[in-house]
Amino acid sequence: MRIGFIGAGKVATAFGRYLHGHGVTIGGYFDRHAEKSTHAATATGSQACRDGAQLAGISDVVLITTRDDQIQPACEELCRQEAIQAHHCVGHMSGAHGSLILDAAGRRGAAVFSLHPLQAFAQEEKALADLAHTWFSLEGSNPRLSDIETLMARTGNRCLRLPPEGKPLYHLAACIFSNYLVTLMAHGMRALAKSGIDPMQGFEAMRPLIEGTIANIGRWGPAKALTGPIARGDRSTLAHHLQALAAAQDAELKALYTFMGLKTLDLALQDVLKEPDKAEAVRKALEGNYP
Ligand SMILES: NC(=O)c1ccc[n+]([C@@H]2O[C@H](COP(=O)([O-])OP(=O)(O)OC[C@H]3O[C@@H](n4cnc5c(N)ncnc54)[C@H](OP(=O)(O)O)[C@@H]3O)[C@@H](O)[C@H]2O)c1
């Protein structure tokens, strides 16, 4: 099975090198910047192609690794040129889009898919190193995608499978895990700053707690990993927090604290908090302060 890439940026070049290192044959690259095609092709013992049609002609799997907004037009252009045939698997590596944006190729009988590495790649060499421990998601419904699973089994990377209709919520989940985690940390640092601690130094001090909590979620799941005053149904500690929030006069922090507190209470009731009267007192205190 020969893999060809349209777009020879960071992801395509690093992934091609990674696959090549695992004995997968790379057919070639086409990028609208010829020097990028040459660099990636040289690094993978493959061909720098003059256009997309030539690339498709020498590939069984065509991966469109342009930026997201160029994926659909690039696919449609290949289809207009009749470069995509029924024997092809055509995919992209975006997290935000599903395989439906490759519908033009699907209508020509190709098996369409998206293969998303759950990783941020800012630079080729770092990306190559990170790929060894990167999970992927493979989305699409064509039975021929077992070929892509076989390909990923060859590198040993683990793969989440999902149907086309699941892709938007999968991407939303990745945004919660990554982007919203940053927002949550920023609010923790905001509370530290108000307590008189330097936020970056405070973050370093909290780091073992943060990383230990993440490890516990991985070990036991979120409901059992929960600790702290809400998990204990400790109404009086909560009252101290709410007083401190009132004194800090920070409405945004209060909104976040009470909303997250209510979600934390729901989670606590799934496992660690067994006393309904304590839970009710905590809920009343939080709801009474929720904007
Ligand atoms: N970077 C990440 O952290 C990351 C992580 C996971 C997934 N991904 C996904 O991986 C894909 C590639 O991302 P990337 O960061 O590697 O992009 P990139 O570095 O910007 O590379 C894309 C390359 O494709 C070229 N290109 C654009 N349209 C083309 C066309 N029609 N024909 C030929 N070449 C074309 C671009 O040229 P121009 O610069 O002139 O446009 C550029 O050289 C995206 O779908 C992205 O969502 C990225």
Residue closest via CA to ligand 1's atom 35 equals 7
In the chain, beta strands by DSSP E: 2-6, 25-30, 47-48, 61-64, 89-92, 111-117, 136-139, 159-162
Residue closest via CA to ligand 1's atom 7 equals 94
Residues 137, 158: Cα–Cα separation, whole Å: 8
Strand order in the sheet with 89-92: 47-48, 25-30, 2-6, 61-64, 89-92, 111-117, 136-139, 159-162
Mind listing the pLDDT tens digit of every residue in the chain (291 residues)? Answer: 999 999 999 999 999 999 999 999 999 999 999 999 999 999 999 999 999 999 999 999 999 999 999 999 999 999 999 999 999 999 999 999 999 999 999 999 999 999 999 988 888 999 999 999 999 999 999 999 999 999 999 999 999 999 999 999 999 999 999 999 999 999 999 999 999 999 999 999 999 999 999 999 999 999 999 999 999 999 999 999 999 999 999 999 999 999 999 999 999 999 999 999 999 999 999 999 888
Whether 16 contacts 46, CB under 8 Å? yes
* pTM, entire model: 0.90
Q: Which of 6, 11, 71 to mutate to test the pocket of ligand 1 (most atoms within 8 A of CB)?
A: 11
pLDDT given for residue 256 in this prediction? 96
**Owner of token pair 């040459």:** 38
Residues 262, 275: Cα–Cα separation, whole Å: 16
Q: How far is the CA of 11 from the centre of ligand 1 (A)?
A: 7
Check pocket membership of 117 for ligand 1, CB cut-off 6 A. Answer: yes
Check pocket membership of 66 for ligand 1, CB cut-off 6 A. Answer: yes
Pair of tokens at residue 18: 């990674």
Pair of tokens at residue 157: 């990377």
Cβ neighbours for 229, distance < 8 A, ≥ 6 positions apart: 237, 238, 241
Check pocket membership of 6 for ligand 1, CB cut-off 6 A. Answer: yes
Check pocket membership of 124 for ligand 1, CB cut-off 6 A. Answer: no
Which residues in 138-170 are b (16+ Cβ under 10 Å) and which e? bbbebeebeebeebbeebebebeebeeeebeeb
Whether 48 contacts 35, CB under 8 Å? no
Check pocket membership of 43 for ligand 1, CB cut-off 6 A. Answer: no
Minimum-distance ligand 1 atom for the alpha carbon of 117: 6
pLDDT given for residue 122 in this prediction? 83
Residues 63, 79: Cα–Cα separation, whole Å: 14
Q: How far is the CA of 7 from the centre of ligand 1 (A)?
A: 6
pLDDT given for residue 116 in this prediction? 97
pLDDT given for residue 289 in this prediction? 87
Other CB atoms within 10 Å distance of the CB of residue 195: 11
Residues 191, 186: Cα–Cα separation, whole Å: 9
**Sign of the alpha-carbon torsion through 99, 105, 106, 107:** positive
List 138's β-bridge partners, or say none.
Answer: 115, 161
Minimum-distance ligand 1 atom for the alpha carbon of 8: 23
Residue closest via CA to ligand 1's atom 46 equals 94
For residue 182, what is the enclosing H or E element?
A: helix 181-195
